[in-house]
Structure 1
Amino acid sequence: MTFDDAIKAGKVTADEAYAIFDSLEPTEVEDLIGTWQGSEFPSGHPVDGSLAASGWFGKRFKDADTVDPLLFYTADRESFFAADPLKKFAASARGVTDIASVREEIETSAPTARLRKAEYRGKVTVGMIYDQAPIIDYFRKVDDDTLLGAMDRRGDPGTYFFVLRRVAR
């Protein structure tokens, strides 16, 4: 199964997601610079569907040390804002599903992640390391404007996969 086949199907198994991810080329930091709109890549992970339902927009990479790992739509869905991951996780744990409704509580102007090259699943690629959470998102290149991401979180029984499509450099 190819990436395009998986997108058309709308979901894959975890094994298919890993096989697709493993078939893709590693990324360089320069490949990621820009703003990216995210979408889910359903593979049977327990959080499948939750990011889309929360109003997730995507990610923004300014440089290797200036990363907004969680961008969410504003209430009017005309724009987006950067969220502090720990405050977002706390809001979700309280049962908040519409992240825009707690924007004043969780918005941040400070970067909350950074990019570093690391080996993951046999290839050296770019990983996004959250500053205050045990999470690394690894990226592989589908094409110059499309990435497949794999979220590796300590204690998580599986890998959460997602797609990023570039909207601005």
Structure 2
Amino acid sequence: MTTVDPSFDVLLSRANRGDVRTDEALALFDTLPAVRPEEMFGEWRGEEFPTGHPMDGLLGATGWAGKRFEDADRVHPLLFWNAERTGTFPVDPIRVPMGLPVPTGLRRPWLHRVITAGRPLLATSRYTARLRATEYRGVSTATMIYDARPINDVFRRVSETRLLGLMDHRGDAAPYFFVLYRP
């Protein structure tokens, strides 16, 4: 059984205060062990790991809940909370405007209301990603590959129930970091 490295919790706490940058997060990522794709199956809750990326704060404000991996070929990469936060629904990533600038000051809970109100247009029952082992930064590890976006989410193990992920999006200068944990 893998235990949580206390330095991860310290770094996550610092990240949530805005005190961690990409190079420090990548250094941590590089120390963590790989994850096999089959270890990812099931539902995972998500939280952001801020590093100064332009997306920091956006997923939290929109009500992002996490990801669901049914198996290697059936993945819901974006789960959002319903209005009551009692359940989740999958969103089709192709319907989410990735380049839409939302200034940091506007990343407020009302964005969650926009997502839930747009559920009829955004939600999907289709699986929109796959899970494979790929090599990233010299390590072969579980990677979620979006079907219709140039995005790979790469995962490393923090503990048996927690992962550090990063979104490698073509065109971004740096990766976007997040944490997944078993509910």
TM-score of the two chains, using structure 1 as the length reference: 0.93
Ranges of 4+ aligned residues in structure 1 off by more than 6 Å:
none
The percent identity for this pair of structures is: 49
| Aligned-partner residue type, residue 72 of structure 1 | F
* 2:62 counterpart residue number: 54
Q: Does 1:93 align with 2:100?
A: yes
* 1:77 counterpart residue number: 85
Which residue of 152, 157, 162 maps to 2:168?
A: 152
Figure out how many residues of one structure are paired with residues of the other and give that number: 166
Which residue of 1, 5, 12 maps to 1:7?
A: 12
2:100, 2:22 → 1: CA distance? 25
Q: Structure 1 or 2: larger strand share?
A: 1
| Aligned-partner residue type, residue 4 of structure 1 | D
1:4, 1:71 → 2: CA distance? 24
| Aligned-partner residue type, residue 12 of structure 2 | I
Q: CA deviation at 1:93?
A: 3.4
Q: Does 1:29 align with 2:45?
A: no
RMSD of equivalent CA atoms: 1.8
Further displaced range: 81-90 or 155-164: 81-90
For 1:130-145, list aligned pairs within 5 A.
130-145=146-161
2:44, 2:174 → 1: CA distance? 24
- The 3-state SS of whatever aligns with 1:97 is helix
Q: CA deviation at 1:94?
A: 9.1
Unaligned segments of structure 2, at least 5 residues: 1-5, 103-109
Q: Is the 8 A contact 1:2 1:20 kept in 2?
A: no
Unaligned segments of structure 1, at least 5 residues: none
